[in-house]
């Protein structure tokens, strides 16, 4: 199931979703934490996005393990696999956190005239944890992505370019 799609490794396709969705989730989580107005505008979109990110992360991990069996082990692949094992856990934790933040925020009484709510102590703590989680998620997805790029592209720059094509300096 996680091996190939139309002959292309599933991991190569799904990893792009994680590379886009995880940082977007982290960014929106920070915005939700710092602004009541943005919290209201973003609303349920953040927990939904975080959930899709977590699912994508799980599929990327499983398809990566399938791809690892195909390409064999190397130090770079092993480093990427070890880092990649942690990312779905972080994504699931962030998804759960965003749902809890959204639920607590929704249950916070609002001043009808002002339209704003004074955040409870619980919500303030959750939002602070959310900022830390967003930073951790951004760092982890960067490390995993970088190690994956190194595993794929290592040695490419040291190989001579084929002659006779575009870009020859001759």
> How does pLDDT run across 42-88, given as a tens digit for each residue?
999 999 999 999 999 999 999 888 888 887 778 888 888 899 999 99
Q: Which of 87, 9, 10, 80 is nearest to 54 (CA)?
A: 87
- Nearest 5°: CA angle at 94, between 87 and 117? 165
Residue 4, H or E segment: strand 4-5
Asked whether residue 157 is domain-assigned, the answer is: no
Q: Which of 89, 90, 81, 78 is nearest to 139 (CA)?
A: 90
In the chain, which stretches have pLDDT less than 50? 170
Asked whether residue 161 is domain-assigned, the answer is: no
Q: Is residue 130 within 8 Å of 136, Cβ to Cβ?
A: no
Share of the chain above pLDDT 90, in %: 57
Asked whether residue 121 is domain-assigned, the answer is: yes
Give pTM, 2 decimals: 0.83
Distance CA(35)–CA(135), nearest Å, equals 17
For 41, the domain range is 4-108+117-151
Instruction: Indicate the number of domains in the chain.
Output: 1
């Amino acid at each position: 199931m996680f091996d190939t799609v139309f002959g292309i490794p599933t991991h190569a396709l799904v990893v792009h979703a994680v590379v886009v969705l995880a940082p977007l989730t982290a960014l929106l989580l920070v915005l939700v934490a710092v602004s009541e107005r943005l919290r209201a505008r973003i609303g349920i979109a953040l927990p939904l996005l975080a959930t899709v990110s977590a699912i994508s992360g799980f599929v990327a991990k499983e398809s990566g393990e399938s791809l690892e069996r195909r390409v064999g082990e190397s130090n770079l692949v092993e480093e990427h696999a070890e880092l990649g094992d942690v990312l779905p856990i972080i994504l699931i934790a962030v998804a759960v956190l965003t749902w809890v933040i959204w639920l607590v925020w929704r249950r916070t009484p609002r001043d009808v005239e002002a339209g704003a709510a004074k955040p409870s102590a619980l919500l303030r703590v959750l939002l602070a944890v959310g900022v830390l989680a967003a930073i951790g998620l951004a760092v982890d997805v960067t490390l995993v992505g970088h190690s994956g790029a190194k595993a794929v592209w290592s040695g490419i720059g040291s190989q001579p370019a084929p002659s006779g094509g575009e870009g020859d300096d001759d």
